[in-house]
Every structure is written in C-alpha cells, then in structure tokens.
C-alpha cells in the first residue's frame, strides 16, 4: 500500500463520512480486502484514499462496509464509512487535530474537499464513487444500514427457469435468518429478510 506523503495527518482535522460507490466486479476478487490479494475493490479504495492523503491507515480510520460481494460480482450502491481528512470545521462526525494543528493558509469560508472527484481520479474506471455524506461518530455502514437489496441476473441459456421460480417461491415473504448471520456481541440486531420474487 502507498504511504501518505503527509507524515503528520494527525495535524489535520478529520470527519466521519459515508461513501457511496459502484463497481463492475468481473476482474476483482470481491469487495473485502484480503491478505496476499491485491485485486479487490477495497484494496483499490484504500490505495486511493491513502494516495490522496485522506486517511493514514485502516486501523485509525474506523472503517466499516455495508456488505460484501464475492469474486466477479458487481454492486451499484455499496457504502463504506470511515474517518477522512477534512477542510471544514465542526458538524457531525468532526474530529479536531490530535497533534499541533496545521497552519491555516487562507481566510474565509473553507470549502470541503471534493472527495468524489479526488477518488475517481485515482480509481480504476470500473470502480466509481458517486456520493458522500457527513455522518455521526456512531454511524457504521454495516450496523446502521436500514436494509440491503440484492438482484441476481442469470443468462437464460440452459437454465430451467420454471424450476428456479418454483424453488425461489419458498423464499418469498419475511423470514428470520438470524442463525445465518454473524452477530456482533456489542451490537444486538435481528437478522430478518423480506424476499420478493420478480
């Protein structure tokens, strides 16, 4: 991973934000970073964040992801949350510098960093950031998520569509899948899913 050229990011203000992005996963080994595998979506995002000196490292960034995708799977509305460098003081999720503050250069109202443009300038063309928002310190892309929606597309060739519809009909409705969920000890939650067949 690239090391940020700012040796003292702790001298900058930070804020927690949520980043919304999309990707075509055909050539990647899934969303989540993995040891000894560079071609993951998260590895590219972290590389861009670090290269732009928006974050120092994952350990101090308080990063979480809404969900994960497997090798070759695309996503069109994925969310991560993390602490990044900011130009604007105050507001939700704001953190003052922990070291000696960096001297301010100009007076007037500072503009926020253009996170979307910065990251898209450093990411591959098949990974695109398209929105960001300030979030409270307690926000977690994983645990603050209200719902997740999945759509699966299959080529019709050599598939028994009728058998697939009949099998999928058993999933329609609201079901409690808590036995299939990883439960976080400090964040109790119910893992129920409402399934639709289209």
> Catalytic amino acids?
70
How many Cα atoms are found within 13 Å in the side-chain-facing hemisphere of 114? 5
**Measured CA angle at 182 (ends 178, 186), to 5 deg:** 100
CA 183 to chain centre: 20
Whether 83 contacts 14, CB under 8 Å: yes
Contacts for 161 with CB less than 8 Å, ≥ 6 apart: none
Q: Which two tokens stand for residue 63?
A: 């990063």
The burial class, CB within 10 Å (0-12 / 13-18 / 19+), for 63 is: buried
CA 169 to chain centre: 31
* Number of separate helices (H) and strands (E) present in the chain: 4, 7
């Amino acid at each position: 991973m690239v090391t940020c050229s700012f040796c003292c990011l702790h001298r900058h203000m930070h804020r927690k934000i949520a980043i919304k992005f999309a990707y075509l996963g055909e050539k990647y080994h899934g969303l989540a970073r993995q040891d000894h595998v560079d071609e993951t979506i998260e590895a590219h995002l972290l590389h861009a964040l670090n290269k732009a000196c928006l974050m120092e490292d994952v350990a101090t960034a308080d990063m979480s992801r809404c969900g994960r995708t497997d090798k070759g799977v695309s996503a069109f509305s994925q969310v991560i949350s993390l602490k990044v460098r900011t130009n604007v003081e105050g507001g939700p999720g704001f953190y003052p510098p922990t070291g000696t503050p960096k001297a301010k250069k100009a007076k007037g109202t500072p503009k926020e960093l253009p996170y979307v443009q910065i990251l898209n300038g450093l990411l591959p063309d098949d990974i695109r950031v398209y929105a960001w928002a300030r979030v409270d310190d307690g926000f977690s892309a994983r645990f603050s998520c209200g719902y997740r929606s999945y759509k699966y597309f299959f080529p019709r060739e050599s598939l028994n569509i009728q058998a697939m519809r009949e099998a999928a009909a058993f999933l329609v409705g609201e079901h409690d899948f808590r036995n299939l969920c990883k439960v976080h000890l400090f964040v109790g939650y119910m893992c129920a899913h409402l399934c639709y067949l289209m």
